[in-house]
């Protein structure tokens, strides 16, 4: 049995040497074999690793007015340039403020137009009054000059001459007062129109800013 075991071992070693020709072998599927030309080049080896990729620069975008995201224009990792929209926000409070300011501007414009018409009517009324006073003054001046000449010639008495003087002086002062009122009215109208324009321009600027914020958000 010992001799038989030794003989079997010798046969096994001889068979292994014969089939492998003295070299190690590995059975591999043909589909997994890739044949390429051997070239001289830098050796590259890929080693898979698990990790987290972080950006070199992080920019945080802060909006002046918050809101709810209604629409997102770009996805994560997209390349953007200055001015590109990122997302659209909706802000109910901002929308209400915009609507109220729009109404305020419209109301202010209507009031300006109404005030302008009223001022023009007031001016026309003052001009008509000025025309009446001017006519009365011209007549008083004519009578004054006539009675002055007649009084100097002893044609009329002092009572009639005094009446002509009093009427002339009264209408002269009334004419001067009416002219001053008309002058002040013109100045007041110009000042009021300038103030209305400034107020309207300020309201329009506020409305434009609100519209811009509403659009950009």
- Give residue-wise pLDDT tens across range 69-127: 777 888 877 888 887 888 777 777 777 777 787 888 788 788 888 888 888 888 888 88
For the stretch 12-57, pLDDT in tens is: 666 666 565 545 666 778 887 888 888 888 887 778 888 887 878 7
pLDDT at 123: 85
Between 7 and 161, residue with greater pLDDT: 161
Ramachandran angles phi, psi of 76, nearest 5°: -60, 135
What average pLDDT score do residues 63-70 get? Answer: 68
* Cα separation of the two ends of the chain: 96
Instruction: Quote the CA–CA distance of 16 and 23 in Å, as a whole number.
Output: 10
CB 174 within 8 A of CB 133: yes
Beta-strand runs (E) in the chain: 68-72, 87-90
The C-alpha angle 195, 199, 203, rounded to 5 degrees, equals 170
pTM, to two decimals? 0.48
Number of Cβ within 10 Å of residue 210's Cβ equals 19
For the stretch 135-181, pLDDT in tens is: 999 999 999 999 999 988 888 888 999 999 999 999 999 999 999 99
pLDDT at 146: 92
Asked whether residue 216 carries a pLDDT value surpassing 60, the answer given is no
The three-state secondary structure class of 142 is: helix
- Which two tokens mark 75? 């996805």
């Amino acid at each position: 049995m010992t001799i038989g075991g030794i003989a079997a071992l010798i046969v096994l070693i001889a068979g292994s040497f014969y089939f492998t020709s003295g070299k190690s072998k590995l059975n591999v599927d043909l589909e997994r074999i890739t044949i390429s030309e051997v070239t001289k080049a830098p050796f590259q080896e890929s080693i898979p690793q698990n990790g987290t990729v972080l950006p070199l620069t992080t920019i945080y975008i802060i909006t002046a007015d918050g809101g709810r995201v209604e629409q997102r224009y770009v996805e994560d990792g997209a390349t953007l340039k200055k001015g590109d929209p990122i997302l659209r926000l909706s802000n109910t409070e901002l929308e209400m403020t915009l609507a109220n300011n729009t109404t305020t501007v419209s109301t202010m414009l209507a009031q300006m137009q109404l005030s302008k018409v009223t001022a023009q009517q007031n001016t026309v009324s003052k001009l008509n009054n000025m025309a009446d006073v001017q006519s009365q003054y011209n007549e008083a001046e004519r009578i004054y000059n006539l009675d002055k000449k007649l009084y100097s010639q002893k044609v009329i008495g002092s009572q009639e001459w005094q009446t002509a003087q009093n009427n002339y002086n009264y209408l002269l002062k009334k004419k001067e007062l009416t002219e001053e009122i008309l002058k002040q009215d013109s100045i007041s109208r110009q000042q009021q129109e300038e103030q209305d324009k400034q107020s309207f321009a300020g309201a329009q600027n506020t409305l434009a800013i609100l519209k811009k914020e509403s659009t950009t958000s």
